[in-house]
Amino acid sequence: MFIHSQFEIVENVLLARDTYRLRLHAPDVARSIRPGQFVMLRLPGTSDPLLGRPFALYDVAFDNRQQPAFLDIVYLVVGKLTGALAALRPGDSLIVWGPLGNGFPAIACPHLALVAGGIGQTPFLACIKAVLGKQSYGGLQSKQTVDKVTLCYGVRRAEFLAGVDDFRAAGAEVFVATDDGSAGFHGFVTDLVEQLPRPDRLIGCGPEPMMHRLALLAKEWAIPCHLSLESPMACGAGICFSCVTKVRTESGWDFRRVCVDGPVFDAAALVFED
């Protein structure tokens, strides 16, 4: 069961160009949310925009008693709601409902590679901390289940790289790719992945073409791959059926709701449009 309430903003800080980290004092959500899950955010006191928007868990922060108390969300300013979020200050509040979605599956392997495109890096900080046993989430005991985590992170230009120091501090080996060559590898992040040592497992989040390529790589390499979809949503709770995606079935394919059946799917089950 998810929580629906209004929570106070504690921080709203710039991380990179047009990219912010929002911290909410939301103890009830912080105690129960797991890596890969998301929350819906909506502005209070207005119907413009009318609908909430989904945002992945970036991380959970603790109070002075070392109890989960704060929810961190990272967002890129691209539209009306995210533009309004950037103008909010500590003391302001937001309507939040969550945790939502299925989160990442149990992961145990020697080498995990996380692949992010654009703002797709946001679900991965909590994932890194969880699999390396650095932090517990959702009331589960922390336990290291992965020996090595590599994050491959691609953006248009270097100025959009957000949270790289956070990922390295969490214990991940980080490689970046930029479309214009202004930082790291010059080219697509999936091309960068192919040049690095082959991992035992892939997890991706980003634009659909990037994730389609990851699914093909995982099939070629015969390794497990899960993808966190960035589908637009209206309710986040499976009621409106506005966020469906195609998945393979025994009889061909069918639709699944990203908000409740995902947002994390086995890449082999997804049907990508050519």
CATH code, 35: 2.40.30.10
What is the overall mean pLDDT for the chain?
96
What local confidence, expressed as pLDDT, does residue 58 receive?
98
pLDDT of residue 252: 87
Q: Which residue has the tokens 């214009």?
A: 180
Q: What is the mean pLDDT of residues 160-173?
A: 98
Using alpha carbons, select from 123, 226, 121 the residue that is nearest to residue 176.
121
Indicate if 122 and 70 belong to the same structural domain. Answer: no
Domain assignment of residue 255, yes or no = no
Which domain CATH number covers 223?
A: 3.40.50.80
* Bridging pattern class, strands 252-257 and 201-205: unpaired
pLDDT at 106 over 90: yes
Question: Which letter, b or e, does each residue of 36-67 get, where b requires 16 or more Cβ atoms within 10 Å of its Cβ?
Answer: bbbbbbbbeeeeeeeebbbbbbbbbbeeeeee
Task: Note the pTM of the prediction, 2 decimals.
Answer: 0.96
Digit-coded pLDDT (tens) for 194-250: 999 999 999 999 999 999 999 999 999 999 999 999 998 989 999 998 999 999 998
Which pLDDT score is estimated for 47? 86
Q: 128 and 202: one domain?
A: yes
| The pLDDT value given to residue 141 | 85
Ranking 48-52, 246-250, 262-266 by mean pLDDT, the lowest is 48-52
Closest CA relative to residue 208, chosen from 128, 118, 123, 122: 118
Residue 35 lies in a domain: yes
Q: Among residues of the chain, what percentage have pLDDT more than 90?
A: 90
Domain assignment of residue 35, given as a range: 3-100
- Positions of E strands within the chain: 3-16, 19-25, 38-42, 53-56, 59-62, 68-76, 93-100, 109-117, 146-155, 173-178, 185-186, 201-205, 225-228, 244-249, 252-257, 264-266
Say if 152 falls within a structural domain.
yes
- Whose CA is closest to 71, among 38, 23, 37? 23
Does residue 51 have a pLDDT over 90?
A: no
